[in-house]
Amino acid sequence: MTYYRRVGDIPRKRHTRHDIGGTVMAEELVGEEGFSGPSSLLYHRTSPSAIVSIEQADVTPATYTPNQPVSPHHFRTTKLPSGAGDAVTSRIGLLGNSDIQLSYVTATGTSPLYRNAVGDELVYVQSGDAVLESVFGRLAVGPGDYVVVPTGVTHRWVVGAPARAQLLVFESRSHIQIPRKYLTPTGQLAEGAPFSERDLRGPEPEPLLIDGSDVEVLVQTRDGYSRHIHRDHPFDVVGWDGCVYPWALSIHDFEPIVGRIHQPPPVHQTFAGVGFVICSFVPRLFDFDPDAVKVPYHHANVDSDEVLFYSDGDFMSRAGSGIGIGSISLHPAGFIHGPQPGSRERSEGVDRTGELAVMLDTFAPLGVSEAALDVSDPEYPWSWAGGR
Ligand SMILES: [Fe+2]
């Protein structure tokens, strides 16, 4: 749920005639939880239901095998294939379960028009500039942005200059929300939350209004991918209002919460969904008690698998493990993880960290793809023991 926005030309009352130049606009309610949850109301020049063909799409969903025998992993995204591709059809699935899947993509060109009918998507921009064009308009994003694309929104990713963007993509089976603990009873971001409404960016105020006919849209459902050919271009919306739309939050606008002694990961929480949370680790002052141990204590996340994407900076707690920018670690339930040897000693006398990382904690075990196993560092599981 985000705050109310209003864009373009809409009538004063909902569900009343909206006549522009003799044409009555077609209303579309994008509503979650049937007609009971957050929604937006869009006004199209033509019927958004007018399709002229339905085809099977030749997109193969990623498959995941159980992480057995259970093992920690270090995946190097820098070793993944990164040729020409787009932000939707070139995704390389890495980890997944029935609640969420995580993929990585290097986009060099504009994606097809796409809507995901399974759940919300969250895209973290690791590098490059891009524009998310959707029925709601244009949203420009860049490095460090989280971009939430609600379920069912027809959109495409336009990659800017230089024509290359690296994206970490979370495809959820649920809606991705701002954590309840940050909100007042009426839904405002509360004082003390690590970000505020001023940090949330929505689509630009000008509608896209793109003309076209016989326009392909790639549709993802739980059973696979289809292609719908729309008679008219879906980006024909003259105006909309409501609380459901694509939005962005920069990780650089996340204000860290620090303490005299170590604060647990929930202070870094940024998003919540069914079966998972997503957290941001940003540059911050270390714990300031003279006796504080500044690196995280060993922990057994008995109810979750923990995935960390290392976006930028130094990662003191992982020094010596080979982890660097572009790495993804997976510390599954059943494995007790903690700082690598020497990390605590190195942290003494240091008063801040420049690390930038995105964490996904899932409450069901994650399966691993072949593509992920191909870039998994075989030595990582032994890095705490100083070798096998
Ligand atoms: Fe952890």
State the distance from the centre of ligand 1 to the C-alpha of 281, rounded, in angstroms. Answer: 12
Radius of gyration of the chain (CA): 22
So what's the pLDDT on residue 117?
A: 97
| Cβ contact 114:121 at 8 Å | no
So what's the pLDDT on residue 209?
94
Model pLDDT, residue 301: 84
**CB distance 114 to 220 below 8 Å:** yes
The pLDDT assigned to 160 comes to 74
Contact between 51 and 75 (Cβ < 8 Å): no
pLDDT for position 1: 60
pLDDT at position 159: 94
Q: Report CA(337)–ligand 1 centroid distance (Å).
A: 6
> Which of 153, 98, 152, 88 has the alpha carbon at shortest distance from 123?
88
Pairing of strands 92-96, 51-56: unpaired
The alpha carbon of 24 and the centre of ligand 1 are apart by a number of angstroms equal to 55
Distance between Cα 254 and ligand 1 center (Å): 20
Instruction: State the distance from the centre of ligand 1 to the C-alpha of 325, rounded, in angstroms.
Output: 18
Residue 5, token pair as written in the block: 């926005």
Rounded CA separation 229/258 (Å): 51
Ligand 1 center from residue 356 Cα (angstroms): 15
- C-alpha 33 – ligand 1 centre gap (Å): 33
Its pTM stands at 0.96
Closest CA to 364 of 92, 106, 174, 130: 174
Task: Quote the ligand 1 centre to 296 CA distance (angstroms).
Answer: 8
Side-chain-side CA neighbours of residue 339 (13 Å): 16
**Does pLDDT of 234 surpass 90?**
yes
Tens-place pLDDT, residues 49-71 = 999 999 999 999 999 999 999 99
Which one-letter DSSP state was computed for residue 314? -
- What are the tens digits of pLDDT across the range 255-293? 999 999 999 989 999 999 999 999 999 999 999 999 999
Q: Is 127 exposed, middle or buried (0-12, 13-18, 19+ CB in 10 A)?
A: middle
CB of 109 closer than 8 Å to CB of 84: yes
Which neighbouring-strand residues pair with 170? 102, 122
Do 226 and 56 meet the contact criterion of CB atoms below 8 Å apart? yes
How far apart are the CA of 367 and the centre of ligand 1, in A? 18
Q: How far is the CA of 329 from the centre of ligand 1 (A)?
A: 10
Cβ-Cβ contacts under 8 Å for 213 (sequence gap 6 or more): 231, 232, 233
Predicted pLDDT of residue 335: 95
Residue 271 CA to ligand 1 centre (angstroms): 17
Pairwise CA distance, residues 96 & 76, whole Å: 17
Residue 330 C-alpha to ligand 1 middle, in angstroms?
A: 9
The reported pLDDT for the residue numbered 388 is 83
Pick the closest to residue 237 from 153, 144, 343, 173 (CA basis): 153
Lowest mean pLDDT among 13-22, 45-54, 107-116, 154-163: 154-163
Segment 151-167 shows an average pLDDT of 91
Q: Pick 218 or 350 by higher pLDDT.
A: 218
Query: What would the two tokens of residue 185 be?
Result: 């009873």
**Angle CA(248)–CA(219)–CA(223) in degrees, nearest 5?**
115
Distance 207 CA to ligand 1 centre (A): 43
State in Å: Cα 306 to ligand 1 middle. Answer: 6
Measured in Å, residue 273 CA sits from the centre of ligand 1 at 19
- Arithmetic mean of pLDDT over the chain: 95
| Torsion of Cα atoms, 301 then 307 then 310 then 311, to 10° | -120
pLDDT tens by residue, 176-206 = 999 999 999 999 999 999 999 999 999 999 9
Question: Is the pLDDT reported for residue 383 higher than 90?
Answer: yes
∠ Cα 286 333 93 (to 5°): 90
- Cα-based distances in Å from 53 to 49, 56, 216, 224, 228: 12, 10, 9, 17, 6
Split at pLDDT 50, 70, 90, the class of 114 is very high
pLDDT attached to residue 297: 87
Mean pLDDT of all residues in 213-233 = 97
| C-alpha dist (Å) from residue 266 to 102, 168, 182, 226, 229 | 20, 21, 12, 38, 44
